[in-house]
Amino acid sequence: MDASVNRVAVVATGVIGASWAAYFLARGLDVDAHDPSPGAEQRLHDAVAQHWPVLQRQGLAPGASTARLHFHARLEDAVGQADFVQENGPERLDFKVDLLRRIDEAAPSHAILASSSSGLSVTAMQAQCKHPERVVLGHPFNPPHMIPLVEVGGGEKTSAQAITTAMDFYTAIGKRPIHVRREIKGHIANRLQAALWREAFHLVHEGVASVSDIDTAIAHGPGLRWALMGPFMNLHLSGGEGGIAHLLAHLGGPIEDWWQDLGAPQMTPALQSRVADGVTQALGGRTSAELVAARDALLVDLLRAKQDARVLD
């Protein structure tokens, strides 16, 4: 555990914020939470209770307890003693700018302010802060209490030390932070996902495959490898003894030709309806809750296996 961070404030406790709060508690931290929406306190406690059995299976840190969660009606009370603030407000720039301004005014001078923003610019979000040098990106992947990845980056006024401190903190609590070295819409992982989504929607639009077939193609094909290693390492292994250099020498041209043929679908109401209908058909009566429970159970085992297989790290 990073000795400099003992108390974390979680601001906005929806799906992402509640998941963060549960994870921080499981890492033995004190958590102060705030969300102004009606019923937020009870929803947060319910969500933490729901996540706790999975976190117990993953392994709790010494001192981990749901009793260390404290909900505050006022934002200033929630962040006033924080060593680290995880902000999870709506993905609207005007909202984020004002919220981070308020957090900056109330949080201790040493606290790092991290935003879970999925794609907004840190430079834009820190614009009204008196201490913009401590504002960083801390974008998790859903659900944060299970998925290790966190994207960390800064804006034009973010200090290098703030980024280092955030990276060190996330690493200390068991996350796998990566550094977004230059601001770009959607950061890194969401852009990679968006590239796949774009072609998936295109293939449905063109009638090449059904929604179910596309999900099967990924979940029972490359997705199995991607869960273990990233795209470049998988390409390297596909090259045999010659590795990625050999593969690119022989398949670089065809890959580029595929790139030129990829689609650029428009998110029309007709396409949205077609995809939604396809998902309903693929569900076959299964509920989202059933899928989440099955997914999370397998994720715990997969994460444990990946941790043991250090050669794939």
Global pTM?
0.93
Compute the distance between CA of residue 69 and CA of residue 37 in angstroms, rounded to an integer.
18
What CA–CA distance (Å, rounded) separates 275 from 230?
27
What are the boundaries of each domain within the chain? 7-180, 189-228+266-312
- 7-180 architecture in CATH? 3-Layer(aba) Sandwich (3.40)
In this predicted model, what pLDDT tens digit does every residue of 272-295 receive, in sequence order? 999 999 999 999 999 999 999 999
| 83 vs 309: which has the higher pLDDT | 83
Q: How far is CA 299 from CA 52, 140, 186, 214, 292, in A?
A: 15, 16, 25, 21, 10
7-180 and 189-228+266-312: same fold? no
Residue in 118, 115, 123 with CA at minimum distance from that of residue 84:
115
CATH 3.40.50.1260 is held by the domain 189-228+266-312: no
Whether the pLDDT of residue 193 is over 50: the answer is: yes
What does the pLDDT look like over 116-126, one tens digit per residue? 999 999 999 99
Share above pLDDT 90 across residues of the chain, in percent, rounded to a whole number: 95
pLDDT beyond 80 at 1 = no
Q: What is the mean pLDDT of residues 76-91?
A: 97
Q: pLDDT band at residue 2, thresholds of 50, 70 and 90?
A: low
The token pair at 41 is 């306190």
